[in-house]
Structures are given as C-alpha cells and as structure tokens.
A and B are shown apart, each in its own frame.
Chain A
Amino acid sequence: MNEYNFAYLDEQTKRMIRRAILKGLAVPGYQVPFASREMPMPYGWGTGGVQVSAATLTPDDTLKVIDQGADDTTNAVSIRKFFENTAGVETTEETENATVIQTRHRIPEAKLTEDQILVYQVPIPEPLRFLEPRETETRKMHSLEEYGLMHVKLYEDISQHGAISTSYAYPVKVSGRYVMDPSPIPKFDNPKLEMDAIQLFGAGREQRIYAVPPHTQVVSLDFEDYPFEATKADHPCDLCGAEDSYLDEVIMDDAGNRMFVCSDTDFCRSRRAQGHEGRLSKEGAI
C-alpha cells in the first residue's frame, strides 16, 4: 500500500499528457507542447520520459527501463524503483516480456511487437536547435517545411571530417513531413525506428511530446553521394560473440587493453544463456 496516486501523477495531469500523446501520434514527428510537471528527480534524468510512462502505464503493464541499453545503471534502476513504488506494476529486464519500455539513448536489439510501447527520454527535442537558436524561427521552419538548414549541418560534417560524423541524435524525416530528433540514440538504431511498436518521446524540461506510430516511414537525412550509414564498432561482442549488436567499448587496464560488449545487457545475457560465447567469456570477466 502506498500513498501515491497510481503512477505518481494526478489523473488530470495524466489526462493532459495522454491528449498530447494522441495528438503526437496523429501528427507523426510534430512536437506537441505540454505542461510538464515537476518530478521528484532532476531535469536531464528523464523527467519527460517518466511523465509519458506514467500516463501510459496501466496496472496490468510490465515495465522495463533501460539506460544506454543497460538495465542496471543508476538511471534505469531508480526509475524502475520509482514505478514499483508509485504504481506497483510488474517490472522486468526481459525485452520480450515488457509491455512498456522506457529507454534512454538506445532501442533494444530484440524486435519489438505491436503490443509494446517504447518511451524515449529526450534532452533537446528540437533538431534545428543548434543551427537556429530562436524558437519562433524553428517553429516557422517546421510549419513551412524549410529543412535546408539540416543539410547544412550534414554538409559541415562532410567538409570537416570527410564523412557524416553525426553519430547520435541523427536527424530523420518522419512520414515525409516533419524532421525529428530521434533523441540521442546511436545512428546504428536509426533503421529500427520503423517498427511495429508505438514510439513516444518525452522532453520534460523542454515541455514537448512527440511520437512515431507503428509502421511509419522514418528516413535518415543524407546526401545522394554520401548516403546514410548505420555504423557500429567493427568487432563482435567479447561476451556473447554477437556481430550485429551495438557495442560499448570498455577500457580494461592502463596497458590499452579493451573489450567490446553489447550495450543491450538483456540481449547479451539471453545470448549467453543460450550458450553463445565471445572472446573473453571463458575468463569469467563478468
């Protein structure tokens, strides 16, 4: 028994957030303003994602929270505990068994299904922000579909680095209309944005919610002669041997030894349970 209303927020607030979510789903990629509440955690720790999750959760849901793909980092653990305390919902670390997944900076490796909802924590929802600081101007650019500036950023990348060096928060065009910041997911995850599950994006400090409905076209911006590439470290996972998952690089000692491990801990764990092995799995590293 706890003293909180279900999932912490009061019913009127959840209703307001649900209306913003529905509007976001109706206009894919459009940033819907909403009256973001103070949450019992600092801005930058996922206040937007938490509010969207709170408005989405039902008592029957099973929640999974990941931070950079991992279930066991501070941010993920504390948000999971928060909803255990305030909503009393089941939680899980297994992607397949979750109905609502709140994520920071990753899309799970396992293919998501139509009965799942993926909630992103978004720091800066405006993809044009660092090119055009005025909110009035960026809104006008969205409404008039003036997205030339986005390509100026990619042009700068190529002219300075010889390739598009933007590797996370890579801008996408949703359903042929709105240019959207997919939150700071690695561009390796961009192709996965076209998925079966509902994707909701919450930015608490910036007070914006946006969404990508299932089976919606999401195109990563690029040039004809410099096409989009989903990149990852060119290694297999050192624990489970996976060659197609996004990897974290971990420095092991002062001698320059390093290992690469799946950033999606649940994916890596389940592969090891199935008997897959990587370069370092015999040494009992983890």
Chain B
Amino acid sequence: MTPLLQVNGIEKRYGARIGCTDVSFDLYPGEVMGIVGESGSGKSTLLNCLAGHLEPDAGQVVFDTRTGGPVDTVTMSEPERRMLGRTDWAFVHQHARDGLRMSVSAGGNIGERLMAVGDRHYGQIRDRAIDWLGRVEIDGARVDDRPTAFSGGMQQRLQIARNLVTGPRLVFMDEPTGGLDVSVQARLLDLLRGLVREMGLSAIIVTHDLAVVRLLADRLMVMKDGHVVESGLTDQVLDDPQHAYTQLLVSSVLQV
C-alpha cells in the first residue's frame, strides 16, 4: 500500500533558530496522526510546511495524487499546489475566523471551494451547502446567516464543513478545539471522529491537548524544540511514555 503522505527530513529554520528539523513519517490512507508538544515546539511550523503554507528549507513532502501518483509537493508548481489546497487537501485553522470569510454567508462559505473548482449551478451549490450544514449539526435554515452571527463552536463546525465539501483525502488541523469550552469540544470531537471514519479521511492534527489525540489519533508524534522526541501508537505513547519530556507531558495533565 502506498502511503498517502511521505514526509522525509523536513526542516525549517528562522535564521539561526530551528523551527522544526529532521521530521520524517509516513501517513497511510484513513490514518489519523497527532502531533503534540508545548507552545513553541515547532508543531505549527511543521504543519504549515506540510500544507504548503511555508516553504521548508530542506526535505520532501510526497503526496499520492489521484492522477499523477506520488509527487513532491515542495517542488511542484504553485498552481498545482494551490489546486491541491482546494481539492484533495483541507486546512482547519485554530481560529475559525482565519479559515472563514466573515462577511460572506454560511452557504457562500461552504460553496466557495465548489465554485473554485468550477461549479456554476446556484441551486446545486446551495443544496450541497445545506446538506453539509446538516452534517456538521447546524440548522439548514441558517444557511444565509453570516458566521459573525454564529457561536464559536458553530463557527468551527462551519469551517470544517467548508473544508470537507469537496471531499478531500487529507485534512490538516491546527488546534481544532482550541478556545472552545469542554462540552462544545466534546461535541466537536464526536463530530470529527464520525466524519473521519465515515469519509475515510486521513488527518494530521496538531494540538497540545492530549485528550484530543487520545480520542482521534491512531498514531502520535511528540515534539520538543523542533525535534520529534517520541513517536508511536497513541495509546502506547500515552500509557507508556519513554522520553523524559513525554513523561512530563503526560503527568502534567490535570485529573478531575
């Protein structure tokens, strides 16, 4: 089986400082990878390098495209990379405001990717927008409301709908539950888990919340100071941490 994404020796430096260095892993179709670590450990830098938002200084990100087979997305042309960005890839930002157009209605937000790939039938676009609102548990009657009228949790779910509408195969998520209260977080996680399973999505989730990866991720990478210090199956890493930093991380979680 070909991995969906092969990451080889990714490195990103900010001058003399290390953003992230020597990161390599394979991601297989349907697999969810979690990346955890404290603030400043390089996990967002890594995610942005993988998603093509930042240009890495070294390394390859080989994606198994539908038509051309495995291609290095770092060296591919920008139009191709941007095309991937709105078809086979999706990016869920931590702050829904970064990923949504706040002055455009919910329906327009969901429809944007459809129109970007050439959909030109208003009725069909709107039907799919309403369908997707339903799938992320937002009332279809709110299709013409702007995201500014939505709560934080609804905005985050709208962002997810907007990203998944074109049926991507790989989703990048940057702290998808950050800034939400716990009950909203729980619903969102439930929803994400359902969508990932139902659509057979692969995902890379960056978070500092160990509970999120416990629920969603099959595998886990622990980062510190730009390096991957430990990786393995989620339960294995969380239940039997080997690296001193991972042990610290796991033992720092507050118990209720």
Contact = CB atoms under 8 A, between A and B. Distances in A.
Interface in A107-148: 131, 144, 146, 148
A2 interface: no
A152 B143 contact: no
A118 B220 CA distance: 64
Interface stretch (A80-88, A199-207, A210-218, A223-231): A223-231
Nearest to B82: A144
Interface in A148-183: 148-149, 151-152, 155-156, 158-160
Nearest to A221: B120
B106 to A, nearest CB: 10
B158 to A, nearest CB: 15
A176 to B, nearest CB: 14
B110 to A, nearest CB: 10
Contacts of A226: 122
Nearest to A158: B122
B123 interface: yes
B125 A155 contact: yes
Contacts of A160: 105, 144
B166 to A, nearest CB: 11
Contact of B111 (A144, A152, A224, A225): A152
B126 A148 contact: no
A152 B123 contact: no
Q: Is the interface of A mostly helix, strand, loop or mixed?
A: helix
A156 B121 contact: no
A226 B79 CA distance: 29
Contacts of A224: 120-122
Nearest to B77: A144
Contacts of A158: 122
A159 B143 contact: yes
Given A144-B78, A223-B121, A225-B122, A159 B116 contact: no
B120 A155 contact: no
B104 to A, nearest CB: 6
A152 B79 contact: no
B116 A149 contact: yes
The residue in A144, A146, A148, A226 that gathers the most chain B C-beta atoms within 10 A of its C-beta is A148
A141 to B, nearest CB: 9
26 contacts: A144-B79, A144-B82, A146-B82, A148-B86, A148-B112, A148-B116, A148-B117, A149-B112, A149-B115, A149-B116, A152-B101, A152-B108, A152-B112, A155-B107, A155-B108, A155-B111, A155-B115, A155-B126, A156-B108, A158-B122, A159-B105, A159-B107, A159-B108, A159-B143, A223-B120, A226-B122
Interface of A: 131, 144, 146, 148-149, 151-152, 155-156, 158-160, 223-226
Given A148-B116, A149-B116, A155-B111, 19 more contacts: A144-B78, A144-B79, A144-B82, A148-B113, A148-B115, A149-B112, A152-B111, A152-B112, A152-B115, A155-B107, A155-B108, A155-B115, A155-B122, A155-B126, A156-B108, A159-B108, A160-B144, A223-B120, A225-B123
Shortest beta-carbon contacts, A-B, top 6: A148-B116, A151-B115, A223-B122, A148-B115, A224-B121, A144-B79
